[in-house]
Amino acid sequence: MNRASSRYAQAAILFFCCLFVTSSTAFADDLHAGVEAFLSTHCSDCHADGAAEGGFELAALGTDLSDPAMMSRWIRVHDRVQSGEMPPPDADRPTAAARSQFLDRVAAPLSAAHATSKGTVLRRLNRREYQNTMNDLFGTQLDLEGLLPEDGRSHEFDNVGESLGLSMMHLQQYMDAAGQVLDASIASTSERPEADIIEASYRGTREGDTFIGKKWKELSDGAVVRFSGWGYPTGMMRSTNIRRPGRYRVKITGYAYQSDEPITFSVGGTSFARGSEKPTYGYFSFPPGNPGDKPAALEFETRIGTNYMLQIEPYGINDPQRYKRQSIDDYDGPGLAILAVHMEGPLVDEFPSRGHQLIFDGLERREVPPSNPSVRNKPWYKPVFEAVAENERQDVTNSLLRVAGAAFRQPVTEADIAPYLSLYFAERENGTSIEESLRTAVIAIFCSPRFLYLQEGEGRLDDYELAARLSYFLTRTHPDNELLELAAADRLASDAATLNAQTERLLQDPRFERFLVNFTDAWLDLREMDFTMPDGTLFPEFDAYLRWSMPLETREFVRELIDANLPVTNLVRSEFAMLNSRLARHYDLPSVAGSDIRRVDLPADSIRGGLLTQGAILKVTANGTNSSPVTRGAWVMERILGETPQPPPPGIPGVEPDIRGASTLRDLLDKHRNLVSCRACHQKIDPPGFALESFNPIGGYRQRYRSLGEGERVSLEIEGRKVRYRLGPEVDASGQLPDGRPFADYLEFRDLLAGEADLLARTLTKKLLTFATGRELGFSDRPEIERIVAASREQGHGVRDLIHLVVSSEIFQHK
């Protein structure tokens, strides 16, 4: 035995003796002949005595499994041996019995250490969960997420307890946010406020008077036609200016004029305020029509801010002479005819709001008469209210019991609200009114740990805890009345059929849309859609309509997998795609009419289908100029294959252009892999990245790279402008998987990946459970995960079935 092995043996003996002092003294007795001998025989040549192939050295193994980094190293040892990756084929390979014995001896302490630690962290509501909960409880529609600090992340997820801290600044912002919610939900009038009605068109406006007859055309039915979707004049409609913010119902009538095809257009918001955002409310399409025909109509609801106006912009049409044309009357190109816009709002679903009722039910709240009654008729008059209680202590106690019960997601007692009742009476003693004192106590409740943190005890969750976990998993908000009633009847934790039925109910709930957005934002990194902006010269076809469509494609694809209970292999290979007109054109697929995303069957030889060919995925895994096989490969490893790549060893630089010879990134990576410390990881990372080189940074298929320097000129126009990029080197999308299986292109790689149904199901199971439980899964969770995968296999690996299996699992139902 060499000196390095001897040093390692001493460390290993100490490690395992400490680890097993409470669980298995027999293990320490057998250590020298088991673990130490295995590592000495099969690992020391490459990983001891200064050798650190792959950046891994045995001497770095410590004894503290409460240290996540140390735990990770030991898991890495276990997994490499279990997979057969280590020892490598050219080394002294252990017998099956020796490998099995080694794995058993290592697995036991790893599992015990993880089982001890995994239930110790409470999970705070993240920003989106907080916003959903407050708005749902109080009936408001406020942007509270923007008021709070960004949440920490554990890998891709921002709802993992260990990463969600709480500071004094946080608490102050929670107080401010709660105050805004109370301001918005507590009635400020005695009667239900009436909605404003806005009727608007481009006729009779300053823009209409200026541009009708020159750039715009007025038709006999009063519709105004625009023939270009970009440049000046814009489609801003000043007469839709909003004075009261809130949710509005918008109806627009019109048609596609002088066109055989539907015309798509965007409806967004614009404001004269400097630096204001310009939200897009949606993309829509009008069918062909003529004056005298019944116009097409679209209707949607959206939240609109103060002093925002609608801006309607046609897409995909262009009058090339619009700046030179003196009259538009003889132009026969297609145009978007807008007849009228009808807006109604702010919409009030209930009055007083559910938040108002939550606080004041049982209390009398009346208007304070003004000293001069005539001011009631003034437009600026705002009534003042006061709460009155016949039995103040009892009435306020009832109110706080009701509020706290809703906030804490389970029944409460008078002992639970005693601190808030004391706070209320302290305010009263300082001369504050009943309403203001009650407001202070309510804000305190919504800043308390019992609201901000999901209350989950050790071991199996009780009915109320399970109701909250299920609700925050699938609808991203507090449990509704039906869940709470079942929890009160003890019918969730002990009745598998009821839990299954509730899971199915929430999968069909309109609020499940939040799951689709939150889960795909985290798992697939869709929240980074705007982290980079594609270079306009290299990718002139990238536009706002494509940007808007990309994440919708991915979310609707995931929805389709769940709704239709399709096999998990569709994640990488599907016979359909979720497309609209813009996506179909971008992917060079048969034409699809209109802006609505819908399921479209793909041609038999299509390279599209599955997540990895979707524009959103390919954009978030590239920068705005080029793609990196390393970045994309690491993304596929972690998000699809469920293996987090190791960080580069200290002192090893990233891949940089080699001005001395290498002409392609593939050449650079070949040199990088020749480094002993890089080879092992890059053998896993690079192959998926090479396969995805078939797609450019905005998701277009390519056979050659685009260049702004040397290369072949391109004869192509986009939106009437000649492209300026050139075609550079050819793309090589071939590679070899770590197990030696080769692929010639993306299609062959995709088919190899689709053959790993269990692996895809295992990864999705882990992602769903992490998102559902708010903790990273660990070594002791592996047996239950394998049980879920086995059960999923028997059911055909359907994605909806997999969600049900996740909810029914021991992991989901335990802290």
Q: How far apart are CA 558 and CA 757, in angstroms?
A: 17
Q: Are 399 and 357 in contact (CB under 8 A)?
A: no
Number of domains in the chain: 5
Percent of all residues in the chain with a pLDDT value above 90, rounded to a whole number: 68
> 312 lies in a domain?
yes
Does residue 398 sit within a domain? Answer: yes
For residue 313, give Cα distances in angstroms to 237, 536, 734: 11, 20, 43
Residues 272 and 373 in one domain: no
Identify the pLDDT of residue 29. Answer: 38
Q: How far is CA 565 from CA 55, 331, 512, 569, 807, in A?
A: 42, 51, 16, 11, 16
The sign of the dihedral angle between the CA atoms of 412, 418, 423, 429 is positive
pLDDT score of 677 more than 70: no
Span 729-777, pLDDT tens digits: 999 999 999 889 999 999 999 999 999 999 999 999 999 999 999 999 9
The domain boundary, picked from 704, 727, 750, lies at 750
Kindly state whether residue 259 falls inside one of the protein's structural domains. yes
Q: What proportion of the chain, given as a percentage, has pLDDT over 70?
A: 88
Per-residue pLDDT tens digits for 583-606: 999 999 999 999 999 999 999 999
Q: Which backbone phi and psi does 453 adopt, to 5 degrees?
A: -115, 140
Q: How does residue 371 score in pLDDT terms, banded at 50, 70 and 90?
A: confident
**Phi-psi category of 278—alpha, beta or left, where left has phi over 0 and alpha has psi -120 to 50?**
beta
173 and 250 part of one domain: no
* CA distance linking residue 117 with residue 781, whole number of Å: 12
pLDDT confidence band for 330 (50 / 70 / 90): confident
Give the pLDDT of residue 679: 63
Give φ, ψ of 252 to 5 degrees.
-125, 135
Q: Is residue 79 part of a domain?
A: yes
Q: Residue 351: pLDDT above 60?
A: yes
Backbone phi, psi, residue 29, to 5°: -65, -35
Do 340 and 379 lie in one domain? The reply is no
Assign 260 to helix, strand or coil.
Answer: coil
Q: What is the pLDDT of residue 32?
A: 38
**H/E element, 801:** helix 799-807
Cα–chain center distance at 472: 14
Residue 109 sits in the same domain as residue 177: no
Q: Which domain holds residue 785?
A: 758-807
**Together in a domain, 295 and 416:** no
Instruction: Please check whether residue 286 is in contact with residue 280, taking contact to mean a CB–CB distance below 8 angstroms.
Output: no
H helix intervals, 290-431: 354-360, 392-408, 414-429
Whole-angstrom CA distances from 291 to 28, 225, 258 are: 90, 11, 11
Average pLDDT, rounded, for the chain: 88
**C-alpha–C-alpha distance, residues 54 and 77, integer Å:** 12
CA distance 584 to 578: 9
Phi-psi category of 226—alpha, beta or left, where left has phi over 0 and alpha has psi -120 to 50?
A: beta
Q: Is residue 485 part of a domain?
A: no
Same domain, yes or no: 719 and 590: yes
Under 8 Å CB-to-CB from 739, ≥6 apart: which residues? none
Residue with tokens 């995925």: 617
Q: Please indicate, yes or no, whether residues 631 and 746 belong to a single structural domain of this protein.
A: yes
Instruction: Count other C-beta atoms under 10 Å from residue 147's C-beta.
Output: 15
Rg (C-alpha) for the chain, rounded Å, is 31
Same domain flag for 551 and 659: yes
What are the E-state strand segments in 511-611? 576-579, 598-601
In a domain, 415, yes or no: yes
Q: Final residue of a domain: which of 317, 345, 373?
A: 345
Per-residue CA distances from 332 to 195, 202, 328, 329, 496 (Å): 41, 21, 9, 8, 66
Are the C-beta atoms of 814 and 461 separated by less than 8 Å? yes
Digit-coded pLDDT (tens) for 176-216: 999 999 999 999 988 899 999 999 999 988 889 899 998 99
| Higher pLDDT among residues 353 and 155, named by residue | 353
- pTM score of the predicted model: 0.90
DSSP three-state, residue 268:
strand
Q: Are 688 and 632 in contact (CB under 8 A)?
A: yes
pLDDT at 592: 95
pLDDT of residue 586: 98
Q: Are residues 402 and 435 in the same domain?
A: yes
Query: Which among 123, 151, 108, 133 is positioned nearest to 776, based on CA atoms?
Result: 123
User: 34 with 149, same domain?
Assistant: no
Residues 372-426: tens digit of each pLDDT: 887 777 777 788 899 999 899 999 999 999 999 999 999 999 999 999 999 999 9
CA distance 708 to 359: 63
Burial class of residue 697 (count of CB atoms within 10 Å of its CB; 0-12, 13-18, 19+): buried
CA dist., res. 788 & res. 643, Å (int): 18
- Please determine, for residue 649, whether its predicted confidence score (pLDDT) is greater than 80: no
Give tens-digit pLDDT for 267-321. Answer: 999 999 888 999 999 999 999 999 999 999 999 999 999 999 999 999 999 888 8
| Confidence at 21, pLDDT banded by 50, 70, 90 | very low
Same domain, 202 and 337: yes
pLDDT (0 to 100) of residue 569: 98
In this structure, is residue 409 part of a structural domain?
yes
Q: How far apart are CA 334 and CA 449, in angstroms?
A: 60
What pLDDT, on the 0 to 100 scale, is given for residue 20? Answer: 40
pLDDT of amino acid 144: 96
C-alpha to C-alpha distance for 251 and 733, rounded to whole angstroms: 48
Least confident range of 157-166, 172-181, 471-480, 654-663: 654-663
Token code pair at residue 333:
């190109």
* Domain CATH code at residue 269: 2.60.120.260
Q: Which of 566, 596, 606 is nearest to 802 (CA)?
A: 566
Domain end call among 420, 455, 490: 455
Q: Please state the φ and ψ torsions of residue 176, each to the nearest 5 degrees.
A: -65, -45
Is 11 inside any structural domain? yes
How much is the pLDDT for 430? 95
Whether residues 231 and 270 fall in one domain: yes
| pLDDT digit string, tens, across residues 220-240 | 999 999 998 777 889 999 999
